[in-house]
Chains A and B, each alone.
Chain A
Amino acid sequence: GEDVEQSLFLSVREGDSSVINCTYTDSSSTYLYWYKQEPGAGLQLLTYIFSNMDMKQDQRLTVLLNKKDKHLSLRIADTQTGDSAIYFCAEGGSSASKIIFGSGTRLSIRP
């Protein structure tokens, strides 16, 4: 079945880059997403990438997709304390489809 896996924790120093990795199993995934969840808050879409793209950049965020290996990564440049959150990798078959989420990676920032 569909599954999305990601590491549970990442700690980075303020100002460094954070790279969160994810793998997924469904080769028919059309949309791959990164959501951010701050404590006590809902899910905020950070960015998404179509499966026919290799890379997408949006300000401090860079998404890389290796479709052959079904590997997705999110790079946050110049990580700030406000970036502390749980980051969910997710995939969907079409824009209206259900979204399958990974377990989330908790990003903590150290001074």
Chain B
Amino acid sequence: EAGVVQSPRYKIIEKKQPVAFWCNPISGHNTLYWYLQNLGQGPELLIRYENEEAVDDSQLPKDRFSAERLKGVDSTLKIQPAELGDSAVYLCASSTGTGGETQYFGPGTRLLVL
């Protein structure tokens, strides 16, 4: 079974530039998550999807961040414009959404904003 796929793995951009991250969840997983992980910290939820619907985006900075999950499968997270403080690892995870279920994580995208 293929795991959660993320791309790119690494990204270096200058501040004020846009950047996008892509995630392909495990087949059949209805729930998809985007997390932000700062150095030395645990993941913090940015947005959670149930199929195509964003059911929890309360922690997403909507002035610069946006996300979409077309057709309830792949998802894209975008930052525009990027700021120095956005340097972090962006993790994507998926699950069956059945309650108490295991979340399966991708390897993450490490973003460096210069």
Genuine A/B complex: no
- Give residues in A with beta carbon < 8 Å to B: none
- Give residues in B with beta carbon < 8 Å to A: none
